[in-house]
Chains A and B, each alone.
Chain A
Amino acid sequence: MKNFVREERTKKELTQVQLAEIINVSRQTIISIETSRYTPSVILAIKLAKALGKNVETLFEVERSD
């Protein structure tokens, strides 16, 4: 699954730590999501989308291989 979390976070001028604090997760989780090492649950994806002011569909993109 492709995601645009890093791009949207930098647009909002948020650091990884700040974003992690907003959605109450660890910084490691944000890093893992941004580097596509970890696919978040639906709840976490919605929280991320809300924090970044985007829709889940624009933040996450399903690839053919998924």
Chain B
Amino acid sequence: MKYLLPHCFKKIGSIIAPVGFVLWIGMQFGLVTKLLIFLFGESSATQSNSSYHIVNVFVAILSFFSFLAGIYFVTFSKEKVEDEMVQRTRLESFQFAALVQIIYIIICFLFILLFKDPGEGGLMLFFITTIFLFWLCFIGRFNYILHIKIIRLSKA
């Protein structure tokens, strides 16, 4: 596995991914604007509306890319001890994630064909969830097997 990053990236990724996600969700609900109004006042908000908009866009880009980078770091970083069992678990988790993604795509296509036109926003949501479902399934299964299931087996 020559494409894997050093183990320290996993810690960095597990910090910046949730921070980026929370920040992005917060931005979507207008919390950044509310924070700016709280800090600099309502009147200032109307006067410098464009600068508030720039801050919002900047936060959106920063949070989204830190979430993406975090996911990438968590997925593609080595474990503390990287051995054959870990590599096999990683491969199985990739297969599992790919299977889940295919099933999700089939179900979504059937839903779109049979029930309704999703529109541009719906399609965008479909593509984003398709991508993230793969990574989240992989991260979830890999870490569950390695850090929860096997340790439970040992205790049992």
Contacts from A to B (Cβ < 8 Å): 16, 20, 24-26, 28-29, 31-35, 37-38, 40-41, 44
A35 to B85, CA, bound (A): 13
Of the candidates B84, B85, B154, the one whose C-beta lies within 8 Å of that of A16 is B154
Cβ-defined contact, B84 with A28, below 8 A? no
A-B contact count (CB 8 A): 44
The count of chain B contact residues (Cβ–Cβ below 8 Å) is: 14
A35 to B151, CA, bound (A): 11
Cβ-defined contact, B83 with A24, below 8 A? yes
Contacts from B to A (Cβ < 8 Å): 79-81, 83-86, 88, 146-147, 150-151, 153-154
For A33, the chain B residues whose CB sits under 8 A away are: 85
Cβ-defined contact, B81 with A31, below 8 A? no
Q: Given A40-B84, A44-B84, A26 and B79 touching (CB < 8 A)? A: yes
Cβ-defined contact, A31 with B86, below 8 A? no
Cβ-defined contact, B146 with A28, below 8 A? yes
Beyond the given pairs A20-B81, A28-B86, 8 more chain A to chain B contacts, judged by CB atoms under 8 angstroms and listed by A's residue number, are A24-B83, A25-B81, A26-B80, A26-B83, A26-B86, A40-B85, A44-B83, A44-B84
A20 to B81, CA, bound (A): 10
For A28, the chain B residues whose CB sits under 8 A away are: 85-86, 146-147, 150-151
- Chain A, residue nearest B153 (CB): A35
Cβ-defined contact, A26 with B85, below 8 A? yes
For A32, the chain B residues whose CB sits under 8 A away are: 85, 150, 153
Q: How far is the CB of B63 from chain A (nearest CB, A)?
A: 33
Cβ-defined contact, A25 with B154, below 8 A? no
For B79, the chain A residues whose CB sits under 8 A away are: 26
Cβ-defined contact, A26 with B81, below 8 A? yes
A32 to B154, CA, bound (A): 8
Cβ-defined contact, B154 with A41, below 8 A? no
Q: How far is the CB of A17 from chain B (nearest CB, A)?
A: 11
For A25, the chain B residues whose CB sits under 8 A away are: 81, 83-85
For B88, the chain A residues whose CB sits under 8 A away are: 38
